[in-house]
Amino acid sequence: MSFKNTKIGKINCRVMRISFTGEQSYEINIQANYGKSIWEKCMEAGKDYNITPYGTETMHLLRAEKGYIVIGQETDGTVTPIDLNYDWMICKNKKDFIGKRSLSRPDTSREDRKQLVGLSPINKKDVIEEGQHIVELNELPKKITNPIKYLGHVSSGYHSPNLNHSIGLAMIRGGKNLFGQKFFVTVTGKTKNIPVEIVNPVFIDPENKRLTS
């Protein structure tokens, strides 16, 4: 998250080292009416390096492969940094900070809270749909007499061209202790569920080599 004020030609720019894609990437902040000019200069400068524009949907796919969250998609008003495996970002040395008391309340520190995990289909041809539930049943009963136990929900689902199969991010109760276990994801309009393995939410480059090299 470092930045530098500089110029591209005669145009004042602020270049920021920031990544929502899991790759080495930058954002260029400029006055809005210079957008087209800067775009053309960047595309010309990158031509010899096979520069390729990409859109928002691609950016969201790349961030999901990297296990990056979207606020309001992986989170709601109840989710804490600890639930998202971001407890490394919380300063342990400060005596107090805004929100510290909330993190130590009994409900917030429960082990069975919904926590961020990755989902990988056992059958790589299966598609994990965003918004579906994670359950323990491989097939829903035709007649439901008792409430079905839902463990969590799929917060993001994409086809990963790098892995060549569907992937998902999910918020699951006690998810941090479930890696390697098999559960099932519901499918719209069907009683047969998709078997999935609970995995690390970082699907691509878990050691950050592509990000820092």
pLDDT reported for residue 46: 94
pLDDT reported for residue 91: 85
Helix, strand and coil in the chain, % to nearest 5? 20, 30, 55
Q: pLDDT (tens digit, 9 = 90+) per residue, 36-60?
A: 999 999 999 999 999 999 999 999 9
Instruction: Compute the distance between CA of residue 81 and CA of residue 65 in angstroms, rounded to an integer.
Output: 19
Cβ-count burial 11-40 (b if 16+ within 10 Å, e if not): eebebeeebebbeeeeebebeeebeeebee
The DSSP bridge partners found for residue 200 are none
Whether 197 shows a pLDDT value over 90: the answer reads yes
Amino acid 10 reads K
The model's pTM is 0.87
Question: Which sign does the torsion angle of CA 45, 46, 47, 52 carry?
Answer: negative
Q: pLDDT (tens digit, 9 = 90+) per residue, 2-36?
A: 999 999 989 999 999 988 888 888 899 999 999 99
Whether 118 shows a pLDDT value over 90: the answer reads yes
Q: pLDDT (tens digit, 9 = 90+) per residue, 52-105?
A: 999 999 999 999 999 999 999 999 988 999 999 998 888 888 889 888 888 888
Q: pLDDT (tens digit, 9 = 90+) per residue, 149-188?
A: 899 999 999 999 999 999 999 999 999 999 999 999 999 9
Whether 145 shows a pLDDT value over 90: the answer reads no
For residue 18, the SS3 value is coil
Q: Tell me the pLDDT of the chain averaged across its residues.
A: 91
For residue 89, the SS3 value is helix
